[in-house]
Amino acid sequence: SRQVLKELTDMLNNNKNFCSEARKDDWLEEINQLTKKSSPQTVFGVLGNTGVGKSSLLNGLLDEAAVLPTSGSRGCTAAVVELVYNSELLKEPDTTVAEKLPVVPAYKGTVEFITLDDWTKELKVLVEECSTQEKHIYSIPPIDDTSEAYAAWQKIEQVYGKGAMGAYCRQPTESVLHRLASNPRVQSLLSSSDPTREYNAILVDAGDVVPGSDEAKELLKPFNQMKGRTRNKKKKWATTFRQKINSYVYRKGNGDEPQTWPLIRKVTLEGPWHVLSTGAVLVDLPGVRDANAARAKVAEKYLQNCNQIAIVAPIKRAVDDGTAKELLGEQFKRRLLMDGQYSNVFFICTQTDDLEPTETMRDHSDVAQEEPGRWEKMTELASEITSLEKQVSDKLQEEEDLEGQVEEFKQQYQEAVADLTELREEAEDDEIDEDQLVNLKAVIATAKSSFKQSTRDLAKWTEDNTARIQHDQEECDALQKQLKPLCAIVRNEYSKQCLQEDFRSGLKDLYKKDDGDDEDGGDVDVNAALPEDFNMDVFGISANDYLKLMKIKPSRDGPPSCFSNAEDTQIPLLRAFVHTTTAKHCQDSVKTFVEQTNDLVEQMKLLCTDSNSDVSTGSARRMKQLHKSSVQSLTNQIKPIATQFKQVIDQKVSNSLASSLKTGARKGSQSAISTVVSWGSKSRRSKSERAPDKNGLYYSTYNAVARRDGVYTSKSAGAVDFNQELCDPMEKEFSTEWQSVLDSTIRRLLAESERKILDLSTSACQSFAQSLRINGVAADRLGNMLNTANRSATTALKTSFTQMRSIARDAQRELSRELLPAVQEKMKSSYTAVKSAQGGPGVFERMKGAMVSNSQRAVNEMFDSAMDKLMRGIKALINRLERLLESTATIVGKSLENVFSICWDDNSDKTTLIDPQMQKLIQDCRNALLPELNRLQKIQGDACELLGIEREEVELDLVGVESLEQQLSRRVAEAEKNGNMLDLCDSDADVPAPKKMAVKSEKGAVIRKKSPLKTSAAGVIDLCDSDSDEDEEGNIFGKCPSTVNVKTEAWL
């Protein structure tokens, strides 16, 4: 379609006689807008803690050995990493501008840093964390690696180099902060040299490829379809790329020198990754509770706009009861619910190659038996393995017994020799007891003989049995390789069942209120958020085994540990899911693009094929007025639909959401102070455990949280967010109603409105076509116009409603996120008071007191204020949608005008006739372009067929519509009967108003028509087709130079 648009542009620019300048400008603008459109990206957010195998998973999907780091200790875990398809490799090179073909990198990376201002704010908090109450840097570095001071000290030294803080011990805090903030290296790194860019960025790349070349196309294929040479090049370029980017995003050396990765805001990597070729973007999301506000904002924005969200966890944890609930967390589930994202979540269980078959068979025999014959196969394999293991074990026991005999005889021999030596040393000059000597020698001989014999027996046994043992072990390993994948598949199935059940159960939990209401889980509302037949997608993958099986990882990494078939690792299945999901997401956009291009081709072709005869100014003006009236009529019909939409939403908001917000605000206010007090409780929370009665923090953590406006991740307490804890009671109260009204109800009502307005649009097209038929436009012309106009209006309306849904979705997501920052803003005075508490003995009590007293003042109006702001935003959204619904009449009117204006273009304001020679040039131009337009229409038709687009055909209903001949006969008869005047001219020249002439019917009189007739309100037939006025008596004051009696034929 893009090539079609390019050819249409050339056609319009190179053929000045094709159409009027106004129509040409309209079409070129429409083409320009279509050309700017790109296929929408499908963003897959990947969430998971460090060490769960996210990097290995992403490497496996990309068919890369290690583009992403697999060592969590070296990775830039704080920044978002975006993985994008390198589409530049597809572009055809412009060979006309240079003799040498241009090249583009196969791999590209953009490392974007936070701003200097952002870092300075964070640095201030970090330096204060390393300071005494007297505002001096600690005299010695902190040694408790769980303390906040230790973490702050380490981060500063990561950025400025090991020992940087040690050099400032005992120095004033302000002085140290100034010196660190003024560091030339950091200032240069965080200051953008491009005034158009807010953030400084560093670009890296690897591999030169001619875009559009055979090599580029080969590089973009799936890894297993590449030629060997291309594979080797790709591996080499990937290694180079990794080395280049390592210096920025991974730890340098042993970590003693200054690092850049703590200052990174976002990393974008582009490569020849087939999994992303259909428009997918993979985003590694580290979390939204980062101490640096800039990074946290980036992560939150991505999470808000994700089309799919992957939760990654090791399968050993995923099979635990309730894991799907625990992994998501209640607040995160509420966010998914309000965003309408609950059905867009899927799970990826990693490390499925790590398993013990015995445990799996013991715990999941019921799942194994669900597939006929599988359990029997597993038990048969296990039995054979057990038998072989026993055989090998028995043989090894025999070997051990023989080795024991050898060792025993060896020891006897050595002991006897030692006794003989001792006997001789003790005797010295005395005579040796010959009998004793003989006995010892006999013992030595016997022991030596037994030792030699046992050694020969062991050698003979080894010779006879080594091959057998090796064979049995190899056969056992082969059977294990058959059994382990079966066990892994069974465990995957069990995990899938558990996670799907837990996921739906977790949604039902959100509908349970603190006061005990909705204990049944609110099935109706649950189904609104999640279709009843919905089953979350779950994948159990082994990235390491996949990469080894595909020979992407080097052989030195060893063989696969479980799977022998790449399909069983489920990496190919997950990749297919990415492609399918992306295709579904892009389908509507692609269809709309093709339909809009097709509409444009049809309109241009219609201009070529239309049998338009020249019409008078009067007819043109009348048809233009009819169009205006048609749009106004449609506006009047659509307005009630928009009004009803608003009324229903307003009622829903009033009946449920508003009351939930009000109740939530009340509950938030009631529980706020107890929550604030609990932060200072001596009953401490931990990473793994937190409850209302166990929510306290230690002094250093409490202080660190307050310094960061209520958000901090502690090594001992985990992620802490005071603001979210205050929001939780209110959010929990209104989240389900929010989803029901602002997500489900709006989507349902927009769908209903769309159906109604599409029907009205079709009716409006038909009605307008009928009115043109009444005014003399031929039926065959109108048939083509009607279908083109109706299809164009339908496409435009569907596009408009898609935009409305996007607007509603984005607006309500933004609105739902306004509560947290509003609460944080109100609480800043409390955090400031905590930081300002006087030091010395009892400082912690003073800090807690300052927090409570200031919070009491804040909560009095904090939640009510937030509620009012949310309600204003909801009202603004509803009003905006109402206006957009009303504007659909204009959209339809524009579609009608684009097509039907052929009937009145260049005539409504015409003062002179078109030169016949020019008319011939115009028609010749259109005739010449018709074959090309037919070819382009065929291309578009094939595209429509490929996408399953059915082009609707509308029939022109002419029942009850008078033809031109019928109108003429009826009106002439009326004129003869009434004795009114006939205006037989078709001129618009100004003349004095003639006297009214009677029409007398005489036998044999002939009336011949040469143009459509019209009558005045008084029944006078105006054959001039003029727009003259009438006097009070109904007489016509026309511009016709003469009038004649109907009985004469002189005018013929």
Please write the tens of the pLDDT for every residue from 635-654: 999 999 999 999 999 999 99
**pLDDT attached to residue 94:** 62
**pLDDT attached to residue 611:** 60
Locate all alpha helices (DSSP H) within 370-432, ordered by sequence.
374-427
137 pLDDT more than 90: yes
**pLDDT attached to residue 1020:** 42
**pLDDT attached to residue 1001:** 42
Structure tokens at 951: 């082009």
Q: Region 329-357: what's the mean pLDDT? A: 89
Check residues 569 and 92 and name the one with the higher pLDDT.
569
Helix axes of 2-14 and 571-609: crossing angle, nearest 10 degrees:
20
Closest CA to 690 of 719, 650, 649: 719
Least confident of 31-45, 322-336, 984-998: 984-998
Q: Which amino acid is at 936?
A: L
Do 346 and 536 meet the contact criterion of CB atoms below 8 Å apart? yes
29 pLDDT more than 80: yes
Q: pTM for this structure?
A: 0.82
Least confident of 47-61, 292-306, 523-537, 782-796: 523-537
User: How many Å is the maximal CA-CA distance in the chain?
Assistant: 180
**pLDDT attached to residue 1046:** 38
Closest CA to 315 of 366, 280, 377, 364: 364
- The 3-state DSSP class for residue 911 equals coil
**pLDDT attached to residue 442:** 86
829 pLDDT more than 90: yes
Q: Region 398-402: what's the mean pLDDT? A: 88
Banded model confidence at residue 498, pLDDT cuts 50, 70, 90: confident
Question: Over the stretch 416-474, which tens digit does the pLDDT of each residue have?
Answer: 888 777 777 776 656 667 777 788 788 888 888 888 898 998 898 888 888 888 898 99
Q: Which amino acid is at 265?
A: R
Task: Provide, rounded to the nearest whole percent, the portion of the chain with pLDDT above 70.
Answer: 83
**pLDDT attached to residue 458:** 86
Which phi and psi angles does 1030 have, rounded to 5°? -115, 155
Q: Which residues pair with 989 in a beta bridge?
A: none
211: DSSP letter: T
563 pLDDT more than 60: yes
Least confident of 651-655, 899-903, 980-984: 980-984
* Domains along the chain with CATH numbers: 116-189 (no CATH), 357-536 (1.10.287), 615-912 (no CATH), 962-1052 (no CATH)
**pLDDT attached to residue 906:** 55
486 pLDDT more than 80: yes
Q: Region 365-390: what's the mean pLDDT? A: 93
Banded model confidence at residue 95, pLDDT cuts 50, 70, 90: low
**pLDDT attached to residue 914:** 62
**pLDDT attached to residue 947:** 81
Question: Over the stretch 845-880, which tens digit does the pLDDT of each residue have?
Answer: 999 999 999 999 888 889 999 999 999 999 999 999
Least confident of 23-32, 36-45, 881-890, 980-989: 980-989
CA distance 360 to 489: 10
Assign residue 201 a region: left if phi > 0, alpha if psi is -120 to 50, beta otherwise? beta
Query: How many CB atoms lie under 10 A from the CB of residue 557?
Result: 11
**pLDDT attached to residue 249:** 79
86 pLDDT more than 90: yes
1024 pLDDT more than 50: no
Structure tokens at 256: 């003693």
Q: Region 678-688: what's the mean pLDDT? A: 91
Residue length of the chain: 1052
Least confident of 290-299, 543-552, 633-642, 778-787: 290-299
Banded model confidence at residue 253, pLDDT cuts 50, 70, 90: low
Residue 332 CB burial class (10 angstroms; 0-12, 13-18, ≥19):
middle
**pLDDT attached to residue 986:** 41
1052 pLDDT more than 70: no
Handedness of CA 901, 906, 908, 913 (dihedral sign): negative
Round the average pLDDT of the chain to a whole number and report it: 83
628 pLDDT more than 50: yes
Do 1002 and 951 meet the contact criterion of CB atoms below 8 Å apart? no
